[in-house]
């Protein structure tokens, strides 16, 4: 009598098994011993490890990632708080300034000490400076046609902008600050409250300190505050 050939061994499709286990998450309830027999690849070394050890390793990795993420969030919160405090001190100092010259000095001091901005120029229209008893003192200056044209050219029809400064531009726009050999970089913004009042220039001798890709929200914010303070009526206006 001829013996029948053995039936081919059937192998389960791993994807089918995975789908079945996903639909039956309680399969291992009461079968904890089976969990201890399962072997899975070790995440950091060759060979296999138990499923429980792999789960512990995965949980530890997730905890470390979460801890690193939390530290990043805390660093960001600390930075934002420090930035808020510096900005608050700047605005309060500007509000306390009694006149245009004091405003310019407070602006230059605060930006230098708290915002790593070593050079500042505040260019005011003659309509503002003509009503004052004395000529403005640096970092304030009176706008002339040539400076207005150069600032407008650098802004390129924008309200504010970060850009490089040549040495000649530095000498023109920041005449009270010695010009670096190779120029530098700056953030520019227009000053206006209904009508043009001038320009604010924040500058650094480092060519990449104010990069073209940088956001100018802070510069515009400071410019808005400065413009409104410059536009305030002076005691002579009431006389």
| DSSP 3-state of 38 | coil
Contact 124, 197 (CB under 8 A): yes
Contacts by residues 234-237 (CB-CB < 8 Å, ≥ 24 positions apart):
234/99, 234/131, 234/132, 236/131, 236/132, 236/133, 237/131
Query: What's the whole-number average pLDDT of the chain?
Result: 87
pTM of the model: 0.72
Contact 93, 110 (CB under 8 A): yes
Count of positions (residues) in the chain = 239
Distance CA 106, CA 90 (A): 8
The whole-number pLDDT of residue 238 equals 46
Report angle CA 199, 200, 206 to the nearest 5 degrees.
Answer: 130
Mean pLDDT for 3-15 is 66
Mean pLDDT for 131-149 is 93
Closest to 123 (Cα-Cα) out of 147, 97, 153:
147
Looking at per-residue confidence, does 196 or 16 come out higher? 196
CA R_g for the chain: 34
Distance CA 17, CA 35 (A): 15
| DSSP 3-state of 50 | strand
Backbone angles phi, psi at 210, to 5 degrees: -110, 100
Output DSSP code: residue 159: S
Mean pLDDT for 211-231 is 95
**What digits encode the pLDDT tens for the residues 156-179?**
999 999 999 999 999 999 999 999
Please determine, for residue 149, whether its predicted confidence score (pLDDT) is greater than 90: yes
**What digits encode the pLDDT tens for the residues 80-137?**
999 999 999 999 999 999 999 999 999 999 999 999 999 999 999 998 888 888 899 9
Distance CA 52, CA 148 (A): 73
Helical spans, DSSP H, in 115-199: 126-129, 145-155, 167-173
Residue 188 host element (H or E): strand 184-193
Confidence of residue 42 (pLDDT cuts 50, 70, 90): low
Please determine, for residue 147, whether its predicted confidence score (pLDDT) is greater than 70: yes
Please determine, for residue 190, whether its predicted confidence score (pLDDT) is greater than 90: yes
The whole-number pLDDT of residue 212 equals 93
Please determine, for residue 3, whether its predicted confidence score (pLDDT) is greater than 80: no
């Amino acid at each position: 009598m001829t013996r029948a050939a053995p039936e081919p061994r059937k192998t389960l499709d791993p994807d089918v098994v995975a789908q079945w286990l996903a639909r039956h998450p309680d399969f291992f309830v009461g079968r904890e011993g089976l969990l201890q027999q399962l072997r899975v690849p070790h995440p950091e070394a060759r060979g296999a490890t138990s499923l429980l050890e792999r789960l512990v390793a995965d949980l530890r990795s997730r905890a470390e990632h979460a801890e690193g993420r939390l530290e990043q969030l805390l660093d960001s919160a600390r930075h934002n708080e420090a930035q808020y405090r510096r900005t608050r001190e700047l605005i309060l100092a500007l509000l306390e300034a009694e006149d245009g010259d004091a405003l310019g000095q407070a602006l230059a001091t605060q930006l230098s000490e708290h915002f790593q901005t070593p050079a500042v120029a505040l260019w005011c229209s003659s309509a503002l400076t003509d009503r004052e008893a004395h000529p403005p003192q640096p970092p304030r200056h009176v706008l002339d046609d040539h400076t207005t044209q150069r600032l407008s050219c650098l802004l390129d029809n924008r309200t504010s902008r970060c850009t490089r400064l040549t040495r000649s531009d530095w000498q023109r726009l920041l005449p009270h600050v010695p010009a670096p050999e190779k120029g530098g970089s700056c953030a520019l913004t227009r000053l206006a409250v209904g009508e043009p009042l001038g320009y604010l220039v924040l500058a650094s001798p480092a060519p990449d300190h104010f990069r073209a890709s940088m956001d100018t929200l802070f510069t515009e914010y400071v410019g808005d505050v400065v413009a409104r303070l410059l536009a305030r009526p002076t005691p002579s206006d009431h006389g």
